[in-house]
């Protein structure tokens, strides 16, 4: 991108089973934090983009863009809901970036929110399965743990990835989350804990899977020139890329390569004029432990097939070659699906400001948000101001 988009402010709620907070409570909390952090007033915001997967199924509420802009006291500005399964937040962020780059708006807010715990677990599994191909996958009983189990089993077959290496992804992310007070799980676990946890879909066990979560996140974006009126050192978004592949696993050329991520990453690195080796910290989509391994391979941080070994050798831990998910990731921080992509951006902004809970020394950071089993991929690259 020739022109950079500045991040003025960020806000995020705690993630978890938030029984005492409503859908409205969550987005208002994150939004107020972001506005205060940006040092602006609500009247300065010209548009609002909201990532949300399925409020209609989780809380029986549609038309949430109107709901949020109303409850936030931001009428009459335009508000748009963005739905792209678990990539809803990341794609909403991309819409905000494009709105600034187009010159149509000078300051916009991007939020992500999901309230998932108001329905029973079986219902949640059914709702999440709507992000898969209904005719060819969900109809025959495949759930997302099942889909990712097929991917994991194939990765183990083709590359020798071990059950213990998958477990180490969870161990790492739980350890990182111990320093994040907003994370859903702040308790360290061991490889043995993962291997002894209940089997969900072979080879994936309960501790290989991200939790059901409530939460919200918000980020305030601004034109680069306007941003100078508010701060001397904003964080900049220097690349935004999105790509798609088949929603159905059976139509893909490979189960073990995230082709949408490969394509989006290529475009993002080109926009930023960077290479994978230039990225010093990343938040990637680890809804399942195999997902993080696929992500770091497709993003070019390690060779295809070497992701499991990289985790085992400590390359992706804090202090390693490329720290992955210092927030705890979806696995331990939590995964309120519509909020995840925006929450990832919040973490990277805090990292580049030097104000993260689990600080990494970095000038460049990346977020990677996936929809479905990999059919949507959206990537953003951030630069320290």
Interstrand relation of 107-115 and 47-51 (parallel, antiparallel or unpaired): parallel
Strand, coil or helix: what is 115? strand
Strand locations in 116-212 (E) = 199-201, 204-205
Nearest-angstrom CA–CA distance, 235 and 345: 11
Q: Assess whether 86 carries a catalytic annotation.
A: yes
What would the mean pLDDT of 70-82 be, rounded to a whole number? 97
Nearest-angstrom CA–CA distance, 77 and 63: 15
- Would you list the DSSP string of 297-364? HHTTSS-TT-HHHHHHTTTTSTTSSS-B-TT-HHHHT---TTTHHHHHHHHHHHHHHT--TT----SE
Nearest-angstrom CA–CA distance, 241 and 245: 14
Per residue in 266-321, pLDDT (tens digit) is 999 999 999 999 999 999 999 999 999 999 999 999 999 999 999 999 999 999 99
Per residue in 77-98, pLDDT (tens digit) is 999 999 999 999 999 999 999 9
Per-residue pLDDT band at 381 (split at 50, 70, 90): very high
Active-site residue among 86, 174, 368, 380? 86
Return the DSSP state at 13. P
Per-residue pLDDT band at 57 (split at 50, 70, 90): very high
Exposure pattern of 215-250 as b/e (b: 16+ CB <10 Å)? Answer: bbbbbbbbbeeebeebbeebbbbbbbbbbbbbbbbe
pLDDT above 70 for 2: no
Per-residue pLDDT band at 233 (split at 50, 70, 90): confident
The helices-and-strands tally (H runs, E runs) of the chain is 14, 11
**Under 8 Å between Cβ of 325 and 283:** yes
What would the mean pLDDT of 318-345 be, rounded to a whole number? 98
Res 346: pLDDT: 98
> How many other β-carbons are positioned within 10 Å of the β-carbon of residue 3?
12
Question: Which CATH architecture group holds 5-120+212-235?
Answer: 3-Layer(aba) Sandwich (3.40)
CA 344 to chain CA centroid, nearest Å: 5
Percent of the chain with pLDDT over 70: 99
**Under 8 Å between Cβ of 165 and 309:** yes
| Secondary structure element (H or E) that encloses residue 90, with its range | helix 88-101
pLDDT above 90 for 35: yes
pLDDT above 70 for 1: no
What would the mean pLDDT of 166-184 be, rounded to a whole number? 98
The domains spanning 5-120+212-235 and 133-210+237-383 adopt the same CATH topology = yes
| Fold adopted by 133-210+237-383 | Peroxisomal Thiolase; Chain A, domain 1 (3.40.47)
pLDDT above 90 for 181: yes
pLDDT above 80 for 361: yes
pLDDT above 90 for 232: no
Per residue in 329-338, pLDDT (tens digit) is 999 999 999 9
Q: Compute the chain's Rg from CA coordinates.
A: 19
What would the mean pLDDT of 46-58 be, rounded to a whole number? 97
Res 137: pLDDT: 93
Q: Domain limits of the chain?
A: 5-120+212-235, 133-210+237-383
Active-site residue among 105, 176, 285, 335? 335
> How high does pLDDT run on average in the chain?
97
Nearest-angstrom CA–CA distance, 134 and 123: 16
As beta bridge partners, residue 199 has: 205
Percent of the chain with pLDDT over 90: 98
Nearest-angstrom CA–CA distance, 290 and 378: 18
pLDDT above 90 for 3: no
């Amino acid at each position: 991108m020739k022109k950079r988009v500045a991040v003025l402010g960020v806000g995020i709620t705690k993630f978890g089973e938030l029984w005492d907070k409503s859908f409205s409570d969550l987005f208002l909390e994150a939004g107020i934090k972001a506005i205060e952090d940006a040092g602006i007033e609500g009247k300065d915001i010209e548009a609002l983009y909201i990532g949300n997967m399925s409020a209609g199924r989780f809380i029986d509420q549609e038309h949430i863009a109107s709901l949020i802009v109303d409850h936030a006291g931001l009428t009459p500005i335009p508000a748009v809901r963005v739905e792209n399964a678990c990539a809803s937040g990341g794609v909403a962020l991309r819409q905000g970036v494009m709105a600034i780059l187009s010159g149509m708006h000078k300051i916009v807010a991007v939020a992500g929110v999901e309230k998932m715990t108001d329905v029973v677990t079986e219902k949640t599994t059914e709702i999440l399965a709507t992000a898969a191909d209904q005719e060819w996958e969900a109809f025959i009983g495949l759930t997302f743990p099942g889909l990712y189990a097929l991917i994991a089993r194939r990765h183990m077959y083709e590359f020798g990835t071990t059950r213990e290496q998958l477990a180490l992804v969870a161990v790492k992310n739980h350890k990182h989350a111990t320093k994040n007070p907003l994370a859903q799980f702040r308790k360290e676990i061991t490889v043995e804990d993962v291997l002894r946890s209940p089997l969900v879909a072979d080879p994936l066990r309960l501790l290989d899977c991200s939790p059901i979560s409530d939460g919200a996140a918000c980020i305030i974006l601004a034109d680069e020139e306007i941003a100078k009126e508010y701060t001397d050192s904003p964080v900049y978004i220097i690349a935004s890329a999105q790509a798609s592949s088949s929603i159905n696993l059976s139509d893909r050329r490979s189960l073990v390569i995230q082709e949408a991520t490969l394509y989006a990453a290529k475009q993002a690195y080109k926009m930023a004029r960077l290479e994978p080796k230039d990225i010093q910290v990343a938040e990637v989509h680890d809804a399942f432990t195999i997902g993080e391994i696929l992500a770091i391979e497709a993003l070019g941080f390690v060779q295809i097939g070497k992701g499991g070994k990289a985790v085992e050798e400590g390359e992706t831990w804090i202090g390693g070659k490329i720290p992955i998910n210092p927030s705890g990731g979806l696995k331990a921080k939590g995964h309120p699906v519509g909020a995840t992509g925006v929450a990832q951006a919040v973490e990277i902004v805090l990292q580049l400001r030097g104000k993260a809970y689990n600080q990494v020394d970095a000038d460049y950071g990346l977020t990677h948000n996936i929809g479905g089993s990999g059919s949507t991929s959206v990537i953003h690259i951030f630069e320290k101001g």
